[in-house]
Structure 1
């Protein structure tokens, strides 16, 4: 290993056709990715595998760089709109596992690490980067003094780090989106499905934040999620989250990623009550089935009248991701007392209905669907036939779209 002087010179390190993998979301190693993008025009053409991006690093990337991801989240939407992002339609758990089996073979890995004493931690995300690094030709680690040291994400001693740099930037932060009337109304319905003692999984965005903020009255909640955010700190500090009744990992908040602000980062730093565990654990069906009352809270772009859920595309354009939705929907369905909630506004920003006759892409099949929530109410779909599903979904569509949806059903059934 060698200590590099910033900025790092990537000349000679990046080879033509290389697959470069970097940490995702708040685990993006900004000092390294910004330096790479600044030098990309002078480097041979290479590929980058990215996850959700909440920085501006790749917004004006050189044509020398082509991008791949498992979805379109955050600022990657700009790459997708420009036709520069190839989406791999994969469940998040399978996408991560493909690095362990070398289906995805990284050549260069850029990672942000936290250090405490002589120990290193992957800090804010324990996803696919470690497995990618195991088979990579070159691993460059950015040691960030502002990144929290998290447990269960320790960097393995058998995975070499070939170069180290010291971060010039603190980790990416993602503040909660301000709530609006629609998200609060959705949250009030969804909260009625979450009993005391439930264990929660949720994603990024206004609606999950609204649902979490509505649960401060709850008791003995647990967290086992693909991510945690600042709202989790609120629930823990108010005594709503104890992790006492989960069935596994008693007393421990379990997550795969930490996505929030410095307040959250300070909370998780060297906190043994928080475990940042690998995807194989957080999303593993065997583990999820052991959890008591697992409530999976996920969002969607559309829901079809048969219950099919689309969280990926609109008008043929990728603007979302499969992510961990199906992993957690099926895990919640297998959990004792579990619920799988899909929560979404009834209308899109252009006024069109998000409850539609047929979705254009199926992310969660109708056979796995449980409860659908909009600001207009709850459609309980588990065990219902197609006609009853349509009736219940039309009832929670926006009032101005209900007649048209009913007409579509009548025409389809003759």
Structure 2
């Protein structure tokens, strides 16, 4: 089916109260989403399901007849959340994807970015919930983008029809690494001490994961099984630090659910049989994660409590983060032979307040699942510790100027 190079007209395609689902992060079909948002004011009211947003497509000025939903607040979707335009579904990423497969969410219109190679189609940069959403959708519109990599594992199923094909007018979204600073480097230096040769890594988006990966060029025989890969993975592979030889499964293959980076990463992933973009039902599966040798989960947080409870979702009652795959991978790493679950964060926020707190306001990862917490001030090993010892260790990695206040909170009011 040839694709149409003319601008798509959504009139009559999007109906009243439709749920429109589009690819997330770098897999956003920008030609389609930009056209939809430009025409939104002339369309009947509809709902839009988005994931992390790294484009400029969605803003608080979008037509008021569009209501937005997401499983978290990541990237530029914070603008929508700040304006009260984003309804957050508090769900683990794996469960969110599974709900599309189980038809708990029923997509009406699906917008997807695909790569094409010799007549074959690939979801390319993300193998998430979009394919399952498309299985039951009334209308699937595919943006065929020649600049996206054809990735293995993400092949578009032949039994899922594409109703409309559109030629991409934009290259895929890119997300460059954030420049490192002294705090992230200090955190990385502490975290690197927990990562042994032969470990398999999982990590997220942001300065701290990038810093930790950058600190591992000396490591050997590392593996990758992650919710995403970025440009730093290419560095590690090219330097020989990543071989994927000791994972226990998927030998020699970097496994990911999403590809989030720049053209360098996209060129690396294109037709690369050593990279598999697998569905969430595989990448985040507890049964799969438990089979991996020495799985090290590296995740960040907004706050960590003195008891080890982790908050990655809200501050002052406002959603500014996500559950994402954190709990999936923390529990998977805990179940892995020789695995480690690392929560890494700066000890203070940008306004100088402590991110090590007496009590978190939202519990993303329960204290029972927490293994090690890392700040620029050191490592708090919490697994197996009682509450009093946990508090002592957490205070020790708080910023020095906040330690007395945290100790006072721990003691309670003077008698």
Q: Same fold (TM over 0.5)?
A: yes
Quote the residue 2:25 is aligned against: 25
Cα deviation, 1:198-251, whole Å, max 9, x if unaligned, reads 000000000000000000000000000000000000000000000000000000
Quote the residue 1:83 is aligned against: 84
Quote the residue 1:313 is aligned against: 314
**Given that residues 311 and 322 in structure 1 are in contact (C-alpha distance below 8 angstroms), is that contact kept between their aligned partners in structure 2?**
yes
Structure 2 residues without counterparts, runs of 5 or longer: none
Report deviation, 1:413: 10
- Whether 1:285 aligns to 2:270 is no
**Given that residues 54 and 75 in structure 1 are in contact (C-alpha distance below 8 angstroms), is that contact kept between their aligned partners in structure 2?**
yes
Quote the residue 1:294 is aligned against: 295
Quote the residue 1:51 is aligned against: 51
Report deviation, 1:4: 3.0
Quote the residue 1:124 is aligned against: 125
Q: Quote the Cα distance in structure 2 between the aligned partners of 1:221 and 1:4.
A: 44
**Given that residues 151 and 274 in structure 1 are in contact (C-alpha distance below 8 angstroms), is that contact kept between their aligned partners in structure 2?**
yes
**Given that residues 27 and 125 in structure 2 are in contact (C-alpha distance below 8 angstroms), is that contact kept between their aligned partners in structure 1?**
yes
Q: Quote the Cα distance in structure 2 between the aligned partners of 1:407 and 1:267.
A: 52
Q: Quote the Cα distance in structure 2 between the aligned partners of 1:339 and 1:248.
A: 18
**Given that residues 3 and 144 in structure 2 are in contact (C-alpha distance below 8 angstroms), is that contact kept between their aligned partners in structure 1?**
no
Cα deviation, 1:44-86, whole Å, max 9, x if unaligned, reads 0000000000001011311110000000000000000000000
**Given that residues 394 and 402 in structure 1 are in contact (C-alpha distance below 8 angstroms), is that contact kept between their aligned partners in structure 2?**
yes
Report deviation, 1:145: 0.3
**Given that residues 2 and 163 in structure 1 are in contact (C-alpha distance below 8 angstroms), is that contact kept between their aligned partners in structure 2?**
no
Report deviation, 1:3: 3.8
Q: Quote the Cα distance in structure 2 between the aligned partners of 1:397 and 1:58.
A: 37
Q: Quote the Cα distance in structure 1 between the aligned partners of 2:414 and 2:267.
A: 57
Quote the residue 2:233 is aligned against: 232
**Given that residues 2 and 162 in structure 1 are in contact (C-alpha distance below 8 angstroms), is that contact kept between their aligned partners in structure 2?**
no
Q: Quote the Cα distance in structure 2 between the aligned partners of 1:100 and 1:83.
A: 29
Structure 1 residues without counterparts, runs of 5 or longer: none
Q: Quote the Cα distance in structure 2 between the aligned partners of 1:17 and 1:401.
A: 50
Report deviation, 1:6: 1.9
Quote the residue 1:266 is aligned against: 267
- Whether 1:107 aligns to 2:108 is yes
- Whether 1:98 aligns to 2:99 is yes
Pairing 1:10-409 to 2, within 5 Å after superposition: 10-59=10-59, 60-409=61-410
Q: Quote the Cα distance in structure 1 between the aligned partners of 2:119 and 2:71.
A: 34
Q: Quote the Cα distance in structure 2 between the aligned partners of 1:55 and 1:160.
A: 27
Report deviation, 1:169: 0.2
Q: Secondary structure at the match of 2:412?
A: helix
Q: Quote the Cα distance in structure 1 between the aligned partners of 2:353 and 2:180.
A: 21
Q: Quote the Cα distance in structure 1 between the aligned partners of 2:211 and 2:376.
A: 12
**Given that residues 202 and 224 in structure 2 are in contact (C-alpha distance below 8 angstroms), is that contact kept between their aligned partners in structure 1?**
yes
Q: Quote the Cα distance in structure 2 between the aligned partners of 1:383 and 1:395.
A: 17
C-alpha RMSD of matched pairs (Å): 0.9
Q: Quote the Cα distance in structure 2 between the aligned partners of 1:334 and 1:375.
A: 27
**Given that residues 255 and 282 in structure 1 are in contact (C-alpha distance below 8 angstroms), is that contact kept between their aligned partners in structure 2?**
yes
Q: 1:413 to 1:308 in 2, by over 3 A?
A: farther
Q: Secondary structure at the match of 1:300?
A: coil
**Given that residues 308 and 362 in structure 1 are in contact (C-alpha distance below 8 angstroms), is that contact kept between their aligned partners in structure 2?**
yes
Q: Secondary structure at the match of 1:290?
A: coil
Task: Identify the range of structure 1 (311-320 vs 52-61) with the bigger mean alpha-carbon deviation.
Answer: 52-61
Q: Quote the Cα distance in structure 1 between the aligned partners of 2:411 and 2:39.
A: 59
Q: Quote the Cα distance in structure 1 between the aligned partners of 2:62 and 2:102.
A: 30
TM-score w.r.t. length of structure 2: 0.99
Cα deviation, 1:266-293, whole Å, max 9, x if unaligned, reads 0000000000000000000000000000
